[in-house]
């Protein structure tokens, strides 16, 4: 918007250009319709005037009068517009109108019209939401818009980086309360690199032990219990409070083959789940996504 220009050079430059343009238009209208007649032009001398295309002669007749009224109306309209609306530099107009203010007003009206419905959805139980086909379709659309870029359109994860949200293996817990906490606050996982402290041989021992927890006599068991059990548990079932995943099942976010496990142990992992607080999703949208994921 012109009114958003800083009150300096550019604002003044716009004012000058606008005023000069209007003044020029006024001068043209006055010179055409109100200029004194040319004393040298007489009907007797018309044969001496230039002639174009055999029958077009130069003359001094003014354009049709309706042109004058059209131009006068345009001038009056322009002056009225510049007085009421932004257009003359940083002057906001007598009505103090702008597209930005109108957009904000329209958005506020839109928000108010749906506030009651949003509050109703946010207060509805998960089981009722899950039984409402129309609301679950809305939840699917919200999920595809906000979550599918990482977790895939079907929520099954992708790229060996983003977890499957449709299984029962949740790193930070899969209860509705835990899912809500994950969505609202985000998560920052931290798996340290172990190769420097364990060395290559022990790192391989742990990797092989992770592939076979039932082998209680495995050489990597002692190393695991000394270095990994504090987070993942002696039995490898993990700890949702720490975000330590279950290592005793067949679900592996970064891959469950020996090479992938070795890469995790050697380099560590640092997964990040962004926060979807109410600045990004309102309470109703969060409730719908929770209803979808907790089914």
Split into its structural domains, the chain has a count of 3
Cβ atoms of 213 and 248 within 8 Å: the answer is yes
Same domain, 140 and 74: no
What is the structure's pLDDT at 10?
Answer: 76
The CATH number that applies at residue 215 is: 1.10.760.10
pLDDT of residue 16: 87
280 within domain boundaries: yes
The predicted-structure confidence for 199-232, as pLDDT tens digits, reads as follows 999 999 999 999 988 888 888 999 999 999 999 9
Q: Would 55 be classed as within a structural domain?
A: yes
DSSP-derived pairing of the beta strands 272-273 and 187-188: antiparallel
**CB neighbour list of residue 210: distance below 8 Å, 6 or more residues apart:** 220, 224, 236, 247, 261
Per-residue pLDDT tens listing for the chain (295 residues): 555 555 567 778 888 888 888 888 888 888 877 777 655 554 445 455 677 767 666 665 667 888 888 888 888 898 888 888 887 777 777 888 777 778 887 877 877 778 888 899 999 999 999 999 999 999 999 999 999 999 999 999 988 889 999 888 899 999 999 999 999 999 998 899 999 999 999 999 999 999 988 888 888 999 999 999 999 999 999 999 999 999 988 889 999 999 999 999 999 999 899 999 878 899 999 999 999 998 7
Give the integer Cα–Cα distance in Å for 227 and 236. 12
Residues 87 and 233 in one domain: no
Q: Please indicate, yes or no, if residue 129 is contained in any of the structural domains.
A: yes
One domain for residues 31 and 147: no
pLDDT of residue 200: 94
Contact present, 121 and 284 (Cβ < 8 Å)? yes
Residue 104: its pLDDT value, please? Answer: 81
Show the beta-strand stretches assigned E in the chain. 51-52, 56-57, 187-188, 272-273
Claim to verify: residue 83 and residue 24 sit in the same structural domain? yes
As beta bridge partners, residue 273 has: 187
> What pLDDT shows up at residue 263?
95
For residues 221 and 237, give the distance between their C-alpha atoms in angstroms, rounded to a whole number. Answer: 15
Q: Please report whether residue 25 resides in a domain.
A: yes
The CA distance from 76 to 55, in Å, is 38
180 and 134 within one domain:
yes
Q: Is 60 part of a structural domain of the chain?
A: yes
Note the pLDDT of residue 44.
47
Same domain, 160 and 282: yes
Residue-number span of the structural domain to which 60 is assigned: 2-35+50-101
Q: Based on the fold, state whether residues 8 and 146 are members of the same structural domain.
A: no
pLDDT for the residue 206: 94
């Amino acid at each position: 918007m012109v009114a958003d220009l800083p009150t300096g050079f550019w604002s003044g430059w716009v004012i000058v250009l606008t005023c000069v343009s209007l003044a020029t238009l006024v001068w043209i209208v006055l010179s055409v319709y109100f200029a004194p007649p040319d004393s040298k032009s007489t009907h007797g001398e018309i044969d001496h005037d230039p002639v174009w295309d055999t029958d077009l002669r130069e003359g001094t007749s003014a354009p049709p009068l309706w042109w004058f009224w059209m131009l006068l109306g345009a001038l009056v309209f322009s002056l009225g517009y510049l007085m009421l609306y932004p257009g003359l530099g940083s002057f906001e107009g007598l009505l103090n109108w702008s597209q930005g203010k109108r957009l904000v007003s329209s958005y506020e009206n839109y928000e108010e019209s749906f506030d009651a419905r949003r509050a109703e959805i946010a207060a509805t139980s998960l089981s009722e939401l899950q039984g409402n086909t129309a609301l679950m379709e809305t939840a699917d659309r919200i999920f595809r818009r906000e979550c599918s870029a990482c977790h895939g359109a079907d929520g099954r994860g992708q790229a060996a980086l983003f977890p499957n949200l449709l299984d029962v293996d949740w790193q930070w817990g899969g209860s509705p309360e835990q899912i809500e906490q994950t969505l609202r606050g985000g998560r920052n996982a931290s798996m340290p690199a172990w190769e420097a402290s364990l060395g290559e041989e022990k790192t391989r021992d742990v990797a092989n032990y992770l592939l076979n927890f039932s082998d209680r006599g495995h050489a990597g068991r002692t190393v695991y219990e000394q270095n990994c059990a504090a987070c993942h548990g002696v039995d490898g079932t993990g700890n949702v409070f720490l975000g330590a995943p279950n290592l005793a099942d067949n679900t592996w976010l970064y891959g469950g083959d020996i090479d992938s496990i070795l890469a995790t142990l050697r380099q560590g992992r640092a997964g990040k789940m962004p926060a979807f607080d109410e600045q990004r999703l309102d309470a109703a949208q969060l409730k719908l996504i929770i209803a979808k994921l907790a089914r």
